[in-house]
Structure 1
Amino acid sequence: MIKKSPLKMVDPPFEFGRPNFIGRDFLLQDPTMPRKIDSFLIDTLGDLRLFYPEFNSWVSNVVIPSIISGERSIILEYRQGDLAGLAILKDSLAEKKLCCLQVMPKFQGSGIGLSLFEKSFDLLNTKSPLLSISEEQKNSFAKIFKYYGFEFSEYYHEYYRPLKNELSFNGLLK
């Protein structure tokens, strides 16, 4: 899922500075870090519940455990000392997926999204990761999907929300 919305700015609750990458090693350096990252993601990206009602549960029960297992990671971009955007990636044998990409309101239109796409491609070792968006976002992302040559794959009726479609690109949702 990729989303541009008027989200609030949340400072990372890390004692370890402002990391550019959160992976297994980062989470395991402190026993309280998984809980801190969980809270940070939910606070920072909480408005995504409007498009993905189970978002908080997904973060707590899927993202955090799969970062610990080494299957997922997070890229963070900062500008002027502030969090400008982040991407959540899944890199498994079965799937290379850009799960979530968010540019903070203050930085929308500044190239942060392009930077996050490029870094995601590098980390996933592919220029065509699987990703999905809600139907309301189709027009917002048409230009960037065309730029990167993303191929529409499938409509999923009521996949996340009643009466709404989810659209996948570069592959099928599992």
Structure 2
Amino acid sequence: MSAVIRNNLFLKVSEIEPEQLRSYIINEVGEKAKDKLYNYLKDLTESYPEFEKWFFDAVIPEIEMKNGNRQIIIVLSEVEAKPSLVLTGIAILKKTDTEKKICTIRIHDNFRNQGIGSELFEKCFEYLETRKPIITISSDRKEMFETHIKNYNFSETQILKDYYKKDSTEYVYNGYLTDER
């Protein structure tokens, strides 16, 4: 069942003002911010066995360095039934001289089909400075992204078997993956 959203706030984690962050964390009783973000995405370990290691050993350190190579954009939404902000979406991005990639994009099941995903893609394009970033999608999640792939005219450029996980196929759009994972 979808909850009705009144307002969305898109924030780059490396740029969150202390007031906004404090307000959000206070409502998340005792959970550390990094753990909260990871817990929102941890089911991705089913498709990407090294996800936890990558998140804590690559993404978080680069976000904390604030060097611009990685960014996490979160979506906090005001929901009619709740007085506080709710984490409804998240994207993890990589932006280097040689690669502009949406590494992860997720909208919470209860908040899908309300335009948050489309808005979040637009924020990703803005940060990455391209409307054709590399994005990879596992075979078990491909159907979930079909509308966005079509709407943004993403071009399938690679099909990789067993790339992240044995007996799984990874579809690559708008570019090519290197051996760097």
Indicate whether the TM-score tops 0.5.
Answer: yes
- Tell whether 2:111 aligns with 1:113: no
SS at match of 1:126: coil
How big is the shift at 1:108?
1.0
* Corresponding residue to 2:76 among 75, 78, 84: 78
Gaps of 5+ in 2: 1-8, 17-31, 79-84
Determine if contact 2:10/2:76 at 8 Å carries over to the other structure. Answer: no
Distance 2:105 2:13 in 1: 14
Structure 1 counterpart SS, 2:163: coil
1:171 matched to 2:175: yes
Match 1:152 to one of 156, 159, 163:
156
Equivalent pair of 1:41/1:59 in contact (CA under 8 Å) = no
Shift of 1:19: 7.5
Q: Which amino acid aligns with 2:143?
A: N
Residue 20 of structure 1 corresponds to 11
Partner secondary structure for residue 20 of structure 1? strand
Partner Cα separation in structure 2 for residue 40 and residue 141 of structure 1 = 24
Counterpart position of 2:23: none
Contact map agreement 1:103 1:112 (CA 8 A) in 2: yes
Query: Match for 2:43 among 44, 47, 50?
Result: 47
Residue from 47, 58, 82 that aligns with 1:62: 58
**How far 1:144 moved relative to its partner?**
1.2
Offset of 1:111 from its aligned partner?
0.8
Is the Cα contact below 8 Å between 1:38 and 1:59 reproduced in 2? Answer: no
2:165 corresponds in structure 1 to 161
Aligned twin of 1:3: none
Which amino acid in the other structure matches residue 149 of structure 2? F
State the one-letter code of the partner of 1:90: K
Q: CA RMSD in A?
A: 2.0
**Most deviating of 97-106 and 66-75:** 66-75
Aligned residue identity for 1:131? I
Larger gyration radius, structure 1 or structure 2: 2
